[in-house]
Structure 1
Amino acid sequence: MATLTKRSARRQEDLASSPFDSWTRPAGGPIAHFHRQGDDILLRFPQCADFEIRPGSEEVVCHPVPGIDETTIDNVFYNSIRPLLINHGGGLALHGSACSTPYGAIAFVGLSRSGKTTLAGACAKVGNPFLTEDVIELQFSGDAYRVIPQRPLLRVFSDTADYLRQEREGENGALPKVALKSGKDLPFASEAADLVAIYVLGAGEATEPTFKPLEPQHALAEIMQHAFVLDVEDKPRLRAHFNRLSDLALKVPFVALDYRRQYDALPSLVEAVVEDARSRGT
């Protein structure tokens, strides 16, 4: 498992190289830039931190920008850097949330701010413990994919925190979110669970919950948007990663889910989703 080594803070000076890959926000603007430094990769999060990654090494070195707190660095490491390394090493990690139901684990993927974490929290609120809030780590075992638990906290916006009625663990100065610790009213699943289905969240245009099964080719197109790739120029690893995603799309049911994005609709939505999971688990 990758470890994080934090160095002293430093300013982000201009780099001699041009990025070979970038992450951008849906509304525009950079999230991160990927640079080569010899055999290493420097992943720069502007105004946040530089992460030095040596493929094959278990150590990631971080140089934060002055004034950035450790919680922010930890969040970036666990939710961005670590899944990159999981996939680069031959594992499988997707961007999304998941919870455990009596019928198996269910996962939610979708675009940024589509409601993935809110839905996982709503599931936990009524007794279906959450497994992860941002990274879905999967391991194939026997004839099933298992969802591996991540950190026992949910990072949500303030209105969702108020809905879930949890004491806030702390404010995050770099991201407009608060962290909610797991507890009696927000249970966390500490053991892996077999994956029953992956729900692809829609745009919130439906007035009532809609469930539409996706064919494998459409499922593959969806999850390719939510995977983590460290080196887009490493063709052999890209092919292997594509094959792992293809196997997932063939072996696990994918369902397009759309619903009304209002908090008063969440209890009935969760009930409908869990019932859908029951039908697929049996």
Structure 2
Amino acid sequence: MPRYAVFGLSLASDIEFPELTPAAEYGAPAAFRLRAPACPSSRNRWVLEIPRENGAPWLSVGRAGDAMLLRFHGVADFHFAHGGLDVEARPAPGASIDDVRWHFLDHVLPRALAASGRTVLHASAVETDRGALVFVGESGSGKSTLAASFCAAGARLLSDDGVLIDTEMRVVPAYPVHRLWPAALPVLGSASVLDSKEKQRRAPSASAWRTSSVPLFRVFVLAPHIPGREWIERASGAEAMLALVRQAYRLDPTDRDRAGAEFRFLGQLSAAFPALILAHPRTLADLQSVQIKICEFSS
């Protein structure tokens, strides 16, 4: 099977991942296998349900025997051993292979990494001359657009939407893709896609992608802009810790041992790298000014 570099892993797969960089030997082993759809089982024990904004089911997390099960409704069931990185996907009827592949990269792998003892934040990250800048925030807070704007100005992408920070406080590259809403595509010099309501995927140039880990330098927590408020302020220890805990990927909320280890690591992270609150206007016209402000705090 071909192998690919992703999140510091050497991923063996029985399908192609055109987004990923081929790598025979890269890091710890992981695997992705596509299997035939299976009949639903009534023996699954569900531990978490996450709905869509309209209330429809999106993700169900459960246990199927000794394996963990992530069911992305309408896309696929993903099975893997708790703490393991060998994933089997069983597509839902009518699901496209592209959707299955993207859900694995964007949603399954970060959670599997978290269950294996690693820390992955819902964040984007770029490499600058001083080290890695990490932008932590909720979906829709502008993380991807901000990272893309830095890359357009000469920084290198580390991750668009899932930042793995290792025990040496280094940011490990995820995979080389920008995911932008159509209106934000001009940031990368691409034309807007007017008829699409989905995020568009764009690969950075080879020179704009980092393949090895980078020391962490600054953590920015994205917050809503309030007129009259400074765009960047130092976060209190409690604010920083709460933001990191909220934006950490996790698999099983009933796993107290993993939750304790994660809390201790995030405490070390927030103590070593005090976070900054970034509450800038979310318009493309302000991006250059935002970059200048960020660079002032990163000098």
- Fold-level similarity (TM above 0.5): yes
Distance (whole Å) between structure 1 residues aligned to residue 69 and residue 153 of structure 2: 42
Matched, 1:76 2:103: yes
Match of residue 258 from structure 1 = 279
Q: Is the 8 A contact 1:207 1:260 kept in 2?
A: no
What's the CA shift for 1:115? 0.3
User: Does the C-alpha gap of structure 1 residues 27 and 258 become closer, same or farther in structure 2, counting only changes over 3 Å?
Assistant: farther
**Structure 1: runs of 5+ lacking an equivalent:** none
The CA deviation at 1:219 is 0.9
How far apart are 1:96 and its partner, in Å? 0.9
Q: 2:241 aligns with which of 220, 227, 250?
A: 220
Q: Of the candidates 39, 44, 61, which is equivalent to residue 34 of structure 1?
A: 61
- Superposition RMSD on alpha carbons, in Å? 2.4
One-letter code aligned to 2:254: E
1:122 deviates by 0.6
Residue matched to 2:221: 200
SS at match of 1:131: strand
Matched position secondary structure for 2:293: helix
Counterpart in 1 of 2:18? none
Q: Does 1:234 align with 2:255?
A: yes
Note the C-alpha offset of 1:26. Answer: 5.5
* Greater Cα offset, 149-158 or 15-24: 15-24
Task: Report the equivalent of 2:34.
Answer: 6
Rounded Cα–Cα distance in structure 1 between residues aligned with 2:143 and 2:34? 30
Work out the CA distance in 1 between the residues paired with 2:218 and 2:108.
Answer: 26
The question of whether the paired residues in 1 share the 8 Å contact of 2:220 and 2:278 is answered with yes
Determine which of 86, 97, 100 is the counterpart of 2:113.
86
1:17-60 CA distances to partner (integer Å, 9 max, x unpaired)? 45211234466443311122122121111111111121143311
Q: How many residues align?
A: 269
Match of 1:211 among 228, 232, 238: 232
Name 1:157's counterpart in structure 2: 181
Paired amino acid for 2:255: D
Distance 1:179 1:5, change over 3 A: same
Return 254-263 or 213-222, whichever deviates more. 213-222
Cα distance in 2 for partners of 1:68, 1:162 equals 30
Structure 2's unaligned 5+ residue stretches are: 1-28
Q: Does 1:180 align with 2:199?
A: no
Alpha-carbon separation, structure 2, partners of 1:90 and 1:136: 14
Indicate the residue corresponding to 2:143 in structure 1: 116
Partner SS, residue 198 of structure 1: strand
**Equivalents in 2 of 1:85, 1:163: separation in Å?**
32
Letter in 1 for 2:236: E
Check 1:155–1:222 CA distance in 2 against 1; reply closer, same or farther (3 A cut).
Answer: same
Pairing partner for 2:122 from 71, 95, 110: 95
Contact 1:2-1:85 at 8 Å conserved across structures: no
**2:167 matches 1:140:** yes
Q: Deviations over 1:46-95 (max 9, x none)?
A: 11111112114331110112332223222221222212122222211111
Paired with 1:140 and 1:128, the residues of 2 have a C-alpha distance of: 24
Deviates more, 1:50-59 or 1:221-230: 50-59
Give how far 1:207 is off.
Answer: 6.4
Does residue 1:19 correspond to 2:43, yes or no? no
Residue number in structure 1 paired with 2:155: 128
SS at match of 1:111: coil
Describe the shift of the 1:204–1:29 C-alpha distance in structure 2 as closer, same or farther (beyond 3 A): farther
Q: TM-score normalised to the size of structure 1?
A: 0.87
1:117 CA drift (Å): 0.4
CA distance in 1, matches of 2:32, 2:109: 9
Taking every aligned residue pair, what percent have the same amino acid on both sides?
26
**1:46 maps to which residue?**
73
Is the partner of 2:155 in helix, strand or coil? Answer: coil
Letter of the 1:191 counterpart: S
Counterpart of 1:271 in structure 2 is 292
C-alpha distance in structure 1 between counterparts of 2:147 and 2:239, whole Å: 23
Q: How does the TM-score come out when normalised to structure 2?
A: 0.82
Contact 2:44/2:65 (CA < 8 Å) preserved in 1? no
- d(CA) in 2 for partners of 1:156 and 1:223? 23
